[in-house]
Structure formats: C-alpha cells, structure tokens
Chains A and B, each alone.
Chain A
Amino acid sequence: MSNEQKKYIFNIKLKKLLVLFTQIFILILILFLWQYLSDKKIINSFITSSPLKIIKTINNLYMQNNLFNHIFITLKECIISFILTTIISFIIAVIMLYNNFIAKVIEPYLIVLNSLPKVALGPIIIIWIGANQKAIIVMALLISLIVSIQNLYNGFISTDKLKIKLLKTFNASSFDILINVIIPSNKENIYSTLKINLSMCLIGIIMGEFLTSKAGIGHLILYGSQVFNLDLVMSGIFILTIISILLYLIINTIKKAL
C-alpha cells in the first residue's frame, strides 16, 4: 500500500470516529445539561424529570414492579404483530402482483384505509374484540399492514421485466419467478419494509396499550401520566427507546443472515 493510500484510509477512519464521538458527546451533553438544570431548579424536574430520577425509577420498577414482565409483554405483542404483518402483507402483495384485477380493485381501498387515522378505530376494536391483548395486536396490524402491502407491492411490480421474460423463455412458473427474480431483486425493499413494519408495530402496540392494557410499557406510561408521575412516563419512554434499538439490531442480524 502506498503512503498516500494509507493516509486516505486513515482519513476515512478518522472521520468515522469523529462522527461517532460527536454523537456520543452530544448525548452526554444533553443528559448532563438536563441533570444540571434540574439540580439547579432552573427547570422543574417534577415536569421534566431528570436522568438520575429516571435511573432510580427504573430501579424501583425492577425491584418492586416486575419491570421485565412489562418489557416482555410489550416485546411479545410487538413481535407477534410484526410477524403477522410481514406474512400477511407479503401474501397479499404477491396475490396483487399476479392478479392485476385484484390489484386494481384493492388499490383505492388501500389508499383510503391508509389515510384513515387508525386510532379512530380504537373504540370499535375494543367493542368487537374485547379489552384484551388481541385488541392491541389488531391495532398494530391496522397501522402497519397497509403501508407494508403498498411498499412490497410497489417494489414487486417494478421488478425488471426483462429478467422475468428471460425466465419465461425457460417456461418458468409464477412460483419460479417469485423465488428467482422478484424476491432477490427486492431484497433491499423487503429489508426496508421490515424496518418500517417494526416501528409501525411498536407505534401500534403502544397505542393499543394506551387504549386497553393491564401491563406493558404503554400501560406504565399511561399510568404514569394519569397519576402525574412524570418520572414514570420518562422511564417508560426510555425503555421504549432501548426496545426499539434492540428490535432494530435483530432486523439487522436477520438481514445479514439472508
């Protein structure tokens, strides 16, 4: 390797590190400032809470309130709705891909359903399904399904026609075409749809838990706000952030495995 090349590589690494350090620095600065301002009573920590209070609250939850049960419940709901969304929307997108008539018929329904604020359906879900975990999962499905179908379908139909034609010269079946062209050429799209599905499901689950729940992170946040315990609310949000990072890492691992 020539010296110039070494220097070039070094510079790239340096820039990467610099970005990372700045990001970490900003995070620490915010936390520090937050703590400092509430210690000095410049901001009202009753409303804003503070990093130390959040840690204390989470510790209390862990000691007295079965914290991991709440996390487990939210995670479980989220993963179930994520898997259901992915499977159902994949099947529907494939059906639409191979049946132009169905696709044309469904399309306006999807658009309207997509623009409808799903929270508005909350009361109906509760009445039809009952105030239970199923209702929470249905809420998440309502929120994530349509977007997922549209993303997958749009990717599928923009697959290179020539590659499909080539496979057809070898008498490929619809299934062959799906496996050998549609899926491989949509890998990136499928992956980004999975990521979107995940965050949509998490949103749906929290909304569902706000609507009706006996446990879960959404339940903790709602309860905290009802008793005006902002430490609890902030702790809930913090835990949610950790959960979404965790889930994101899982998807990343799945992507690498594919």
Chain B
Amino acid sequence: MNLTNILNVNNLSKTYHSKNGEIIAVNNVSFNVNKEEFVGIIGPSGCGKSSILNIISNLDTKYKGRINVNKNIKIAYMLQEDALFPWLTILENVLLGLKIKKQLTKENKDYTIMLLKKYGLYEFRKIRTLAVKPDILLLDEPFSALDYQTRLKVSDDVYKIIKEEHKTALMVTHDISEAISMCDRIVVLSKRPSIIKKIYDINLENKSTPILNRESPNFTYYTIKLYGRR
C-alpha cells in the first residue's frame, strides 16, 4: 500500500452561531487520509460528521483549524441528501458536475456513460460524483436510505467501484459494522461537541469485499471494541 498522505485535517473546530445561541459541533479534530485508503468517520447523529465533510469540501469556509490537501488532488463530495433534478434526464443529472465544471468533453462523457453502464442507473449519485474524476471521494452516509439487504449489496458495489477506479474515500456513517467491513481506518467521534475518541486501524484477516469481510475472524473483535467506545 502506497502511504502518501494526501489530505490532512488539523485541529479542526466548528461552531454554529444562531440567534438561539451557539452550537459547538466539532472540537479540535485531527486526522490524515492516505492515497487509495478507505477511511471512515463514525459517531452518533448530530455529532458533526456532515459538518466536517462540508468543511473539507470547501462548502463551508468558516471554521478554525487547517485543512491541507495535496496539490492537484481533486475532491468530490456526495451529499447525505439525495438531489435529483427532475427537469433533466438521468444522464444529464449524472453529467451535471462535469457541465458545471465545464469539463463536458467527449472523453469525460464517454467515461461517465461507461460508469453508468458498468454500475447501473441506481448508482447515479455515486457516478455523478465519480464523473468529475476526483482523487478523493467524500461520502456522507451513502447507504442510509436503503434497507439492510440492499445496503449490503450496494456497499459491496460501491467498494468495488472505488477500489477499481483507484480512488481514495472518506466515508461518514453511523453504522459500525458497515464501517469495519469497508474501511482501512476508522475515526470514532464522540457525542457533540465531537472530539476524536480514537482512531482504529482495521486489519481484518483475509480482507476482501465488504460482505465477505463480515465473515472475517476478527470482525467481531473490532465490532466489540468499537461498540465499547460509544
């Protein structure tokens, strides 16, 4: 594994201000993401996971701390909520990112259509995010809307896409088993204001796809360890 550090988050803090008072959402969080690594962030709802991705993706520029992204590293962000433009066709929806970035070349279009054919229409949100050829994908609870069966299947597919396309991923989830089955490393956040409780390296024996990883002998070991932490 090539361990070049391409993204690092340093002492990140985020406070939301409103008339009703202030909410400290993220408190002094630091972690690194290496190239082609699959990193998970888990923590209870409302602890500030989406806030961290908003900041890394530059949607939110009001924060304390430092975000360092390596030169020439492109980040794409798949939002927690689903946004489909009903006046566009599915293909136009998937090509939207390229259109906005003014990179709607024949080559990029063909690449996107290839992805669509390979992974299916159902994955249009992930493909819309992949179409702009990012190096790092930020995925915010990518499977939370799905039922358990579909979730297992789709997480397997997405894992495959990311590995086959040699992408780096930073995935937010609140499902511990899902995180263990997919990630190389897991950042565990506390309740709000979220601080890092611990960062786990996941070293599963016979590591393969997420579904099979759940059969790994030390899967349970990590599950117990992480549940204990919450």
User: Which of B74-82, B114-122, B160-168, B187-195 is the contact stretch?
Assistant: B74-82
Contact across chains for B85 and A184 when beta carbons are under 8 A apart: yes
A164's nearest neighbour on chain B, judged by CB, is: B83
Question: Which residues of the other chain, B, contact A165 by a CB distance below 8 angstroms?
Answer: 59, 79, 83
Q: A169-B76, A184-B87 are in contact. Are A176 and B100 (CB under 8 A)?
A: yes
Known: A169-B59, A170-B132, A184-B87. A162 touches B97 (CB 8 A): no
Cα(A91)–Cα(B130), bound, Å:
35
> A132 in the interface, Cβ–Cβ < 8 Å?
no
Q: B40-54 vs A: 1/0 string, CB under 8 Å? A: 000000000000000
Return the contact of A166 from the options B83, B101, B132 (Cβ within 8 A).
B83
Q: How far is the CA of A19 from the CA of B83 in the complex (A)?
A: 41
What separation, in Å, do the CA atoms of A220 and B85 have in the docked complex?
51
Q: Which residues of B have CB within 8 Å of A160?
A: 83
Write out the residue numbers on chain B whose beta carbons fall within 8 Å of the beta carbon of A167: 96, 100
Q: Which of A153-202 contact B (CB under 8 A)?
A: 160, 162-163, 165-172, 176, 180-181, 184-185, 187
Check: B155 CB closer than 8 A to any chain A CB.
Answer: no
| Residues of chain A within 8 A of B132, CB atoms compared | 170
Interchain nearest-CB distance for B181 vs A (Å)? 26
Q: How many residues of B contact A (CB 8 A)?
A: 17
Q: Does B223 touch A at the CB level, under 8 Å?
A: no
A162-B83 in contact (CB<8A): yes
Q: From known contacts A176-B100, A180-B96, A180-B100, infer whether A169 and B77 are also in contact, taking CB-CB under 8 Å.
A: yes
Residues of B within 8 A of A184 (CB): 85, 87
B82-99 Cβ-contact flags toward A at 8 Å (1 or 0): 010101000000001101
CB neighbours (8 Å) of B79 from chain A are 162, 165-166, 169
Q: Does B57 sit at the interface, judged by CB under 8 A? A: yes
Q: How far is the CB of B141 from chain A (nearest CB, A)?
A: 14
Q: When each residue 84-99 of chain A gets 1 if its CB lies under 8 Å from chain B and 0 otherwise, what string results?
A: 0000000000000000
Q: Is A169 a contact of B57 with CB atoms below 8 Å?
A: yes
Write the A24-65 contact mask toward B (1 if CB under 8 angstroms, else 0): 000000000000000000000000000000000000000000
Closest 4 CB pairs of A and B: A170-B100, A166-B83, A169-B77, A170-B97
